[in-house]
Amino acid sequence: MTEPSLRDERGQAFPIYVVAVAGLLFAALAFFAVGQASVVRSDAQGAADAAALAAARDARDHLVPGVDLLTLKPEDWKKVLEGGLLYAGGSCGAARDFAARNDATADCSADSPRFTVEVKTTGTIGDSVVPGVSGRQGTANATAVVEPRCRLGAPVTEPSPSPSPGGAEKPSPVEIKCKGGVVKFDPAKPEPWSTLAKTLFAVRLVD
């Protein structure tokens, strides 16, 4: 084979190498863009999950204004344990605040005991070689629910309660049966509702 023939073959192969290298570079950049999109999407889902749980927990930790545990009768306690007296007035605010902590904005729908949140990340994918992807924000949604874990137990038998100084009869302790055991609410030594609620209700994400 003559020297001119070798040069001709090398000259013909060089453009093929250039095309192959360019194709590999494009594939690498596209793969990187897909990775960036996956990270942004994961961040959005994490923010949505956290915001939905924050909304449900806020509702769990607050009773309807005006409800006084110290004066509730058994039929009223049944409503409490079923979640009928939970207050969702600030739940969407809690969801938006939590989303902001995760660099996202949130739209919230509260239909107690169910709370649905859709978030959009403030961060974007950035510049990308993939058409239509540059600058796109991550979006995701999540739903959380508040679920009762307890039911009203048998009335607590104790000596007749003594009248209070004002003449009104003091309410008797209430026995509450939960999955983890029995809880006794004593009006004489009441726990804060936010503490008691963590035992009475579970908060979880749903599909």
Alpha-carbon span 40 to 44, nearest angstrom = 6
Q: What residue segments make up the domains of the chain, in order of their start?
A: 3-148+202-206
| Per-residue pLDDT in tens (0 to 9) along the chain, 207 residues | 555 554 555 556 656 655 565 555 555 555 445 555 566 688 889 999 999 999 999 999 999 999 998 888 888 999 999 999 999 999 999 999 999 998 899 999 999 999 999 999 887 654 444 444 455 778 999 999 999 999 988 655 555 555 555 555 667 788 999 987 898 888 888 889 999 999 999 999 998
SS3 168: coil
pLDDT for the residue 168: 57
- DSSP notation for the chain: --HHHHHHHHHHHHHHHHHHHHHHHHHHHHHHHHHHHHHHHHHHHHHHHHHHHHHHHHHHT-BPTT--GGG--HHHHHHHHTTTTB--TTHHHHHHHHHHHTTEEEEEEEETTEEEEEEEEEEE--S-SSTTTTTPEEEEEEEEEEEE-EEE-SPP--SPPPBPTTSPBPPPPEEEEETTEEEEE-TTSPPPHHHHHHHHEEEEEE-
SS3 31: helix
pTM greater than the 0.75 cutoff: no
Alpha-carbon span 136 to 123, nearest angstrom = 9
pLDDT for the residue 3: 56
Question: 């927990």: which residue's tokens?
Answer: 57
pLDDT for the residue 146: 97
